[in-house]
Each structure stands twice: as structure tokens, then as C-alpha cells.
Structure 1
Amino acid sequence: MKRTLLAIPLLAAQLFYGCQTSSETSTSTTDASDSQADTTASADQILSDDELLTLVQKQTFQYFWDGAEPNSGLAPERIHMDGVYPQNDQTVVTTGATGFGLMAIVVGMERGFITREEGVKHLQKMMNFLEKADRFHGAWSHWIQGETGKVKPFGKKDNGGDLVETAFLVQGMLTVREYLKDGNEQEKALVAQIDKLWKEVDWNWYRNGKNVLYWHWSPEYNWEMNFPVTGYNECLIMYVLAASSPTHGVPAEVYHEGWAKNGAIKSDAKAYGRDVVLGHNGHEGTVGPMFWAHYSYLGLDPRGLKDKYADYWKLNQNHTMIQYDYCMDNPKDYEGYGKDMWGLTSSYSPNGYAGHSPKNDLGVIAPTAALSSYPYAKEESLRMMRHMYEDMRDKVWGEYGFYDAFSEEKNWYTQRYLGIDQGPIPVMIENGRTGLLWDLFMSAPEVQAGLKKLGFESPQLKK
């Protein structure tokens, strides 16, 4: 789901979700999921920090395991516990969240939520489906019909390849490849299949002959969506992978001239006394929705990652703490905001769907914002996690972890999930605990070469 709702490339998401009514996204505040009993502590049991982190990871992982679309094994766009869906939407899978789900399955295998054999079997099912699904110069569409593999248009002209969602998917695929590459014969065959699929993505085609990457191409509408992707937003990973491709790669100029705008991406702005570092498209002078610090960094390790434009750890940590400071300041005096309730990102909202940020604060908190920021602000993230689990559990916790969003100000709670919001939670918590996904993705030889081509430095880069 495209989430940069105040930047030009993501207007489609706002138009799609904006058409949903308040009644479609609000639910009872009292119903509790019967199926959560096995993974929910008793009311008087206080979990240790490690126990709580593992519980949240395990419960959220289930979205991509028990909640997977049955035919494809891929991540559903949404799961509504109230059973009310947009028309013909229950079997729609989403490419980006599937990439996050691939990494969540690695977490599940590593932490013993499932066996390695179970994980490999499911991953094989996913790759077999992706191999046969519609592709457009190697790129998958944003939405796919889980029963058939055919594209489901995200919008009228958005019925072809989506390079950003494909990048999120490939990030997960490469992580799985590195996790299984030294495995048994079956695992090595799966690794070879993943390798073939990623090398078939024609990143260079999506330049449209220019030194920038375009978000969409359609066989029916060609380049009419006309979304050249410039920074800064959630799309850094797309440029890194485009530079890394050994088969259809792009030159460094595409990154420097297109994404970085010949250096204009840099920002001198400060917010709450902290450097913003890079200009956030549509959020000048402050920071955008919190997912911008998550999606590209599920695999791309920001620790010590630098180029001539930014220190990416500082960028993401400051993004996190500016949002934390904003919610502490609470200039709109919303109910609930404070040291244990913070984090604004694109999510469900009382009137449909919205790109929440300090510049578009509607009093709605999405748990993924703070929880997926665990590596950047462990104390602040864990404090919110504990508050929601111990003090608000019956309102915000369900079968697949914390629900997508809520508003204490409006007494609005929804028993609905979005795959793109659930995915970063178990992955980024794991990165904060062990660095597992960062280490795997960064070990890919192509990623190493691509980062060097673009002028990055990182402790993860081999000499």
C-alpha cells in the first residue's frame, strides 16, 4: 500500500482509502478475539521485557502465517476481524507486505514459532505463486488476486508494474535467500528460484529513458501515471536494489540525479532541536509518517550507513525522536498522547484512511509507528508496547497482535489489520534485538556491490 500520502507519488492510496466511510472502519470497543487465549498472558501476569517482545513478535507473525491467503501463501492486503470488507477484497494479496512477511517468516523460523521445515514449505508455495503471477518487465503489481495470480488494479491506471512494492518484495526475497543459501538440497533449489526471480526485474526499464526511477508502468497506459520517485520518503531501497541488480542495473547517476536531486535532498531544518537531515517530501521543516524510517530499513542496515547526503542512523533516530517529542508536546491537546502513547503514520482512521504525521495529526495512533521504531528508541517503544498490552489490551489487541490504529480522543477503536502495517513490527523488533534481518540482507553480494557503486559506507561492507 503506498503511503506517502502528502507526496505526489502516493495520491492513489489516499483516493482509494479516502472513499471508505467511517462506518466501514470503526468497530465495537468491547469485543475480544476468542482465538488469542493461547498467546495472551493472564490479567495479573507481568511479562519481562524479553517475554513481551517475543509475544508481540509471535502474535504479529501470525498475520503472515495463519492469516496468509490460502492459495498463494502471500500476505493479504487486510484482515478485518469484523468480517466487513470492500467488495471482492478478501482474497487480494499485496506485494510490499508480502516482502515484509517473508522476513517475518525468517523471524518465525529463527525464534521457533514454526519449524524450519514448515517455513521452507510455505516459502516454496509463495515463490511458486510469484513465479506464475502477472509481471511487467519483471516487476509485480501492487495488488494481486490471490486465487489467480492476475493483477488487481490499485487504481484505474495503476494496473501494471509497481517498482516500489516490488522493491519491498525483493528486499524480503534476498533476505530469505541469504538465510537458506547454505541449507539442504530443497533449500538450495528454493534459493536458486529466488535468485532467478529477482534477476528478472528490469529496474533499468523503469527509468523511462531518464536518470530517475518511475513508480509505475502499465501495458495499457504506459507511463501515464507519471510518478518519478524523488527523495526523501520510503523508497530508498528501490534505488539501492536498482543499483545492485547484476542483470538490469542502473548507473549511479540515477540515484544522485533522480533520488537525491543533485544534492537538493539535504535539509538544514530542525524540529524540537533535532536535525531533520533530509528533506521529507511534503513535510518540509519537519518529518513525515513514521513508516519512512521502517520500510527501506527492514533489510538495509542504517547503523553506520552513510553517503554524501546523510548519516542514515541519525536520520532515522531523529525522525523517531522528533515524533516522540511532538507527541509529548501534544500541541493539539489530544487525549492519551504522552511518553507511553506516541507515533504517527499512515493507517486506518475514523473517516477511512489517512497519512498521519506532525503536519497531519488527527489524534490517531497506529501501534506500528512506535513498535517498528524499536531499534531507534528502545525505551520509548517498549514503554508504549507495555502500556497498550497491560492497560488497553481488550481494546487494541487481537489475533494478529495490536490492531491497526485507534484514537482515545475520539473513543475510536478498530478490530482491523493492514498487512503493510503489521509486517514491520516483528522484523524491526528482531533487528533491534539481534540485527538478524540487517545482517542477512547486507550480506548479499549484489547489495554490497550496489551500495559501493552509490558511494555508501557501512561497517557491513566488506573491503
Structure 2
Amino acid sequence: MLTALLAMAGPLPPILPEIGIERPPWVFEADDESLLESAQFGAFRALTSVTAYGGMVRDATNSPVISMAGVGFQLAALALAPEHGWMTELEAETKALNILQEILNTPGITKHGLYYHWIDATSGAPRPDWDGVSTVDSALLYAGAIVAGSRFGGLVDDAVTELLLAADWSKFVLTDEVSGFPSGYLSLAWEPENEAEPTGSGGLMPFAWVDAMDEERLTVFLAQTQLDPTKSTNPNLWWSLRRPIGITSAGERVVYSPYSGAFFRTFYAQLFMDTPRMGPDNPASRGFQARTTTDFWENSRRHAGLHRDRAISNPEGLPTLGATGWPLTASLSPSGYAVPGVFPSPQSIPGSNRPEDEPNPGGTNPAYGDGTVAVYGAAGALMFDRRAMEVLRYARNLNPPLVWNEPSVGGFGYRDAWNEGNGGWSASKHIAIDDGALLVAIENVRTGRVWSLFHEHPFVQIAMERIGLSRSSCAWGGCPEDVDRDCVVAFSDLLAVLSDWGFNPGSPADVNQDNAVEFSDLLEVLSAIGPCNAGKLPE
């Protein structure tokens, strides 16, 4: 009774998984393994076969521009190529190095070391249309480059180091209050005053990354890979990001985005950041009482379930949606680019202030679009919910083929998206950031290799330490008794329980998750002494 009363009066209830829930990498049947390998190979071909200036991948098939975020995924794909037999070690390393050198040696494509969203596919120059310098696209470029730097080392990592140290993130911090938010948040982008002169004078967009969704978290995290603190941001920016709370159709609490219910908002950071082995964070320990302790892998698992539930209920009777057609996310559609999505039911945060701690009411109506489903969204969902494999199988086996172009005979695997209404439609273009997300997500659910390579990099380890995050060799919660997550339940775990004794919601030492570390948790650890390899990544 006392524990329950303390829980009601204490910090916000944490977002944690059920005890013992399985986390990726998953084990697949042989047929599914074959399908996933083919899908990765197709995406790899799309990212490396059709290139433009400097060997960089175009934003989309036949696009006149290069997406710098897409180039980040291209570099990550090259890091994976030798193990899959898609390229030799020398071919992949040489191509990655050439791309990085072209980026570093092309003048006029940065402001303060961060990169334009798009550059011209022929000249490599910024284009005379909306061509802002994007913080999130730069972050995705850096994340992919870090994976390549860890994989190849040597000259490749030297180039990656030069890339990261050139970034002056401090120049993208908003110094004025914006829309009720205090100063200190990162702007979405720098934009020119005159679109016809993209490299001319300009300033920061008066819009900031303020919510703890994946684009925001990845961008804020990558800012900490700048070793010079005068060119970085305040590490507490990670903790100051809002965590709006909603309730899913399954009655589960989630942190959500009030601006878009598209599924991509819940997984792009986790293509690189190993949340299965990072576990929950603790904003209250940093002084942010209106930010709930969150296991972001579990948070995304709940979002995946929400998308699946809404697709199955399909209140508008749209084509494609169902158990084999989810999640809803940004993609091409029969009528052009679309960003459908769904939201949980918003819940107020006790003691919070608006808009600093939670958004103003409204703006969270679902947008089901026309029923178009993007395959990369299903691949992303597979990092959290194995039922997404049903979507990938279904799309592969549609007959006559609507979504699949066989890679073994020159195809690029899955098309970007499909819709089964009006006789059937599928996208004719490939999108670099979608193919890249599909390839990386599948690699992580099969091997965890991208997570490992990203976290091996010393600059990432520095960023983790600065912010106050940690990662273990074993999945958080795989063996809840392994409190210190060193893959063995031992005396050190008993000490960890004793050191966290008392009311402590979200503590790894709260083995039975009753919000208090007490004698029952000590008994749980004692009864499980021995090895724990749940979710351990291969060396």
C-alpha cells in the first residue's frame, strides 16, 4: 500500500516493457531470412547503382538533386557490403572514401559545417530553390558516416573525423524565445533570405526541435559528437525535449509527436542508436520532473501496435490497410507525396506548463490518407514488432507482382509504397532515405551490426557520456535480474539493488517493476545467479 501511494505522489509513471520481453536481433525462419537478404540487396543496389555527382546517391530515381541524408544511408550501406558479399572490402572502402572526400572538397555546400538538405545532382552546388541547411539531414549524414568510419577505419575514419569536427552546432541554437519556448533549442534549419541565392545571407528558421521523437533525439545526440564544447550544444538539451503523453488503443502510455502521427517519427534515430541495449533514461535525475522516464524501444513498440490496431480497424474502409498493410508513414502515393499517420489519445501531464512541457490541445486527428502503405515503414516496425514480417511477406508475394522487383535479375527489391485500390498502384521511384532505412532496419533485426558499428565509434561514446546515457552488451530487460547488464547475474547485481534501495520508479534494480527497490528484488536476483545472454549482440 505504501509503495502504491508513493508511486501516485512521485515522478511520472515510467514507460517500461513487460518483464522478459524479447528484443532484437530476432531469429527468423529460413524463408524469411532469404526474403530479408534479398530486400537488403535490392535496397543496396538502389543506393549504389544509380548515382550522381561524386558518386553520391540521388534523392530519388531520376531526381535532379542529391539528398545529404540519403548519402548518409549510402555510406552505412557500403559499411555492410563486404559481409553480405555485395562488394569486396576494397571496393566498398574505396567508394566510401571517395564519397567522403567529395563531400569535404565540394565548396559552398555547408553553413558552419552543417550541410544543405539538397545539392544539385550534376554540379554538386546548392540549388536556387528552397535549399536550407538542415540540422536533421546533417545528423543523418553524420550517423551513416560514423558507421562507415567504424567499419573501415583508416582514411575513411579520418575523413569522418574531419566531417564531424567541422560542424559548429552552436550556430544553429535559437537565441530568442520562439512560439512560447525558451531559447536554447536547435533550429530545424538555416535558410537563405532569397531562394534564388541559396549561398547568400540568411538566418535560422524560427522553428525548433522541441519534442523527444526520433528526428529530434538523433539531431540533439549528433550535436554532442562535436568534441569542442564551444561548437556543440548544452548536453541537457536531450533531457529538455518535451515528452507529450498519450494513451494507445491498447491502453498503453506513449511519448508521441503532436505534429505528425507518421510512423517514421518513431524509429529513425533507432536505426543507429541501440535502444534495445540502452534501456530507460531518467529525466527526473537531471531535474526535468515533467519528462517521463522512457525506454524508447518500448515506446516505439507501443506505437507500432497502435498503427497495426488502427490499420486493422480501418475506420474509413481504405484499401491496403489491415494486418498485412501497416504502419502509416510518409511516402509517395497515387496523388503525390503524402504523410498519413495516427495519434494516441493525449493525456495531460500533472504540474506541467504549456507549451514548454506539453503541447496545447488539438491537432491530433488521424490522417489515414488513401490507404497507401510504405514498405520501409514495415521494415522499421520490424525493429519493434515481429508481426511486421507479415507485411513484408505479403508485399513480396502479391501476384501479379505489384511491389517487388527481383534483385537477382537486376531489380531493386521493394518499391517505395503501394496501394491496392483502383486496380493497384505502386511507386515508380525509389527514395534514398526510404531504401536506406529499410536496409539498415533489416540489418539490425538480423544482426544488430549497424547498432554495434555506430556505438563503437569514440565520438559516439563521448556523446553518450556527455548526455548521461549508457549502453550494455545485453538487451535491457532480457534478464531483468541482470541489473548492471553485463550479461551475467552476479554479486555486482546484488550490490546494484542495495545501492538503489527505496522508492525508485524506472530503476533497473526494480526487477519486479513495482516502483520500489526492496527485498523482493534482492530475492529475484539471488534466484537467477548465473549467465544471461538475452539479446547479446555478436562480436
Asked if TM exceeds 0.5, the reply is yes
For the structure 1 residues 241 and 215, does the alpha-carbon distance in structure 2 shift closer, same or farther, using more than 3 Å as the test?
A: same
Which residues in structure 2 correspond to 1:89-168 (within 5 Å)?
89-90=63-64, 92-133=65-106, 134-152=109-127, 155=130, 159-168=131-140
Residue of structure 2 aligned with 1:194, choices 160, 171, 185:
160
Equivalent residue for 2:395? Answer: 388
C-alpha distance in 2 between matches for 1:381 and 1:153: 41
Given the alignment of the two structures, is residue 432 of structure 1 paired with residue 445 of structure 2, yes or no? Answer: yes
Per-residue deviation at 1:256? 3.1
Q: Report the RMSD for the aligned CA atoms in angstroms.
A: 2.2
8 Å CA contact retained: 1:340, 1:387:
yes
Equivalent residue for 2:308? Answer: 324
Given the alignment of the two structures, is residue 408 of structure 1 paired with residue 416 of structure 2, yes or no? Answer: no
Per-residue deviation at 1:460? 5.3
What SS does structure 1 have at the residue aligned with 2:44?
Answer: helix
For the structure 1 residues 146 and 413, does the alpha-carbon distance in structure 2 shift closer, same or farther, using more than 3 Å as the test?
A: closer
8 Å CA contact retained: 1:132, 1:149:
no
8 Å CA contact retained: 2:257, 2:265:
no
Given the alignment of the two structures, is residue 228 of structure 1 paired with residue 208 of structure 2, yes or no? Answer: yes
C-alpha distance in 2 between matches for 1:206 and 1:197: 17
8 Å CA contact retained: 1:97, 1:169:
yes
Residue of structure 2 aligned with 1:75, choices 57, 62, 65:
57
What SS does structure 1 have at the residue aligned with 2:66?
Answer: strand
Given the alignment of the two structures, is residue 265 of structure 1 paired with residue 215 of structure 2, yes or no? Answer: no
More divergent stretch after superposition (353-362 vs 336-345): 336-345
8 Å CA contact retained: 1:396, 1:415:
no
Equivalent residue for 1:418? Answer: 431
Residue of structure 2 aligned with 1:366, choices 362, 374, 396:
374
C-alpha distance in 2 between matches for 1:241 and 1:443: 14
More divergent stretch after superposition (106-115 vs 51-60): 106-115
**What is the identity, as a one-letter code, of the residue corresponding to 1:365?**
V
C-alpha distance in 1 between matches for 2:95 and 2:258: 38
Equivalent residue for 2:317? Answer: 333
CA shift digits 1:263-312 (9 cap, x unpaired)? x4241x211115342131325xxxx2121233211211111422224111
C-alpha distance in 2 between matches for 1:190 and 1:244: 17
C-alpha distance in 1 between matches for 2:257 and 2:136: 17
Given the alignment of the two structures, is residue 275 of structure 1 paired with residue 252 of structure 2, yes or no? Answer: yes
For the structure 1 residues 225 and 199, does the alpha-carbon distance in structure 2 shift closer, same or farther, using more than 3 Å as the test?
A: same
Per-residue deviation at 1:189? 1.7
**What is the identity, as a one-letter code, of the residue corresponding to 2:46?**
Y
Which residues in structure 2 correspond to 1:20-31 (within 5 Å)?
none
What SS does structure 2 have at the residue aligned with 1:277?
Answer: strand
Which residues in structure 2 correspond to 1:286-297 (within 5 Å)?
288-297=261-270
Equivalent residue for 2:142? Answer: 170
C-alpha distance in 1 between matches for 2:244 and 2:445: 27
Given the alignment of the two structures, is residue 298 of structure 1 paired with residue 310 of structure 2, yes or no? Answer: no
For the structure 1 residues 354 and 130, does the alpha-carbon distance in structure 2 shift closer, same or farther, using more than 3 Å as the test?
A: same
Equivalent residue for 2:234? Answer: 251
Which residues in structure 2 correspond to 1:7-26 (within 5 Å)?
none
**What is the identity, as a one-letter code, of the residue corresponding to 1:242?**
A
Equivalent residue for 1:348? Answer: 332
**What is the identity, as a one-letter code, of the residue corresponding to 2:385?**
A
Given the alignment of the two structures, is residue 217 of structure 1 paired with residue 229 of structure 2, yes or no? Answer: no
Per-residue deviation at 1:413? 2.5
For the structure 1 residues 251 and 60, does the alpha-carbon distance in structure 2 shift closer, same or farther, using more than 3 Å as the test?
A: same
C-alpha distance in 1 between matches for 2:158 and 2:218: 22
C-alpha distance in 1 between matches for 2:43 and 2:203: 37
For the structure 1 residues 220 and 336, does the alpha-carbon distance in structure 2 shift closer, same or farther, using more than 3 Å as the test?
A: same
- Identity of paired residues, percent? 23
Larger radius of gyration: 2
CA shift digits 1:396-443 (9 cap, x unpaired)? 123222111221134333322111111111111010011000011112
C-alpha distance in 1 between matches for 2:235 and 2:473: 20
Q: TM-score, normalised by structure 1?
A: 0.79
What SS does structure 1 have at the residue aligned with 2:148?
Answer: helix
**What is the identity, as a one-letter code, of the residue corresponding to 1:139?**
L
Structure 1 gap ranges (5+): 1-45, 81-88, 182-187
**What is the identity, as a one-letter code, of the residue corresponding to 2:232?**
G
CA shift digits 1:349-381 (9 cap, x unpaired)? 222111111211111111111022222122x22
Per-residue deviation at 1:61? 0.9
Equivalent residue for 2:281? Answer: 307
For the structure 1 residues 354 and 149, does the alpha-carbon distance in structure 2 shift closer, same or farther, using more than 3 Å as the test?
A: same
C-alpha distance in 2 between matches for 1:349 and 1:232: 28
**What is the identity, as a one-letter code, of the residue corresponding to 2:252?**
D
C-alpha distance in 2 between matches for 1:451 and 1:336: 41
**What is the identity, as a one-letter code, of the residue corresponding to 2:413?**
G
C-alpha distance in 2 between matches for 1:121 and 1:319: 39
What SS does structure 2 have at the residue aligned with 1:337?
Answer: coil
For the structure 1 residues 322 and 221, does the alpha-carbon distance in structure 2 shift closer, same or farther, using more than 3 Å as the test?
A: farther
For the structure 1 residues 154 and 107, does the alpha-carbon distance in structure 2 shift closer, same or farther, using more than 3 Å as the test?
A: farther
**What is the identity, as a one-letter code, of the residue corresponding to 1:444?**
H
For the structure 1 residues 332 and 232, does the alpha-carbon distance in structure 2 shift closer, same or farther, using more than 3 Å as the test?
A: farther
Equivalent residue for 2:515? Answer: none
What SS does structure 1 have at the residue aligned with 2:331?
Answer: strand
**What is the identity, as a one-letter code, of the residue corresponding to 1:405?**
A
Per-residue deviation at 1:152? 2.2
What SS does structure 1 have at the residue aligned with 2:337?
Answer: strand
Equivalent residue for 1:444? Answer: 457
C-alpha distance in 1 between matches for 2:30 and 2:393: 9
What SS does structure 2 have at the residue aligned with 1:151?
Answer: coil
CA shift digits 1:84-119 (9 cap, x unpaired)? xxxxx43x1101111112112222222111111110
Equivalent residue for 1:30? Answer: none
Equivalences, count: 388
8 Å CA contact retained: 2:248, 2:254:
no
8 Å CA contact retained: 1:274, 1:318:
no
Equivalent residue for 2:286? Answer: none
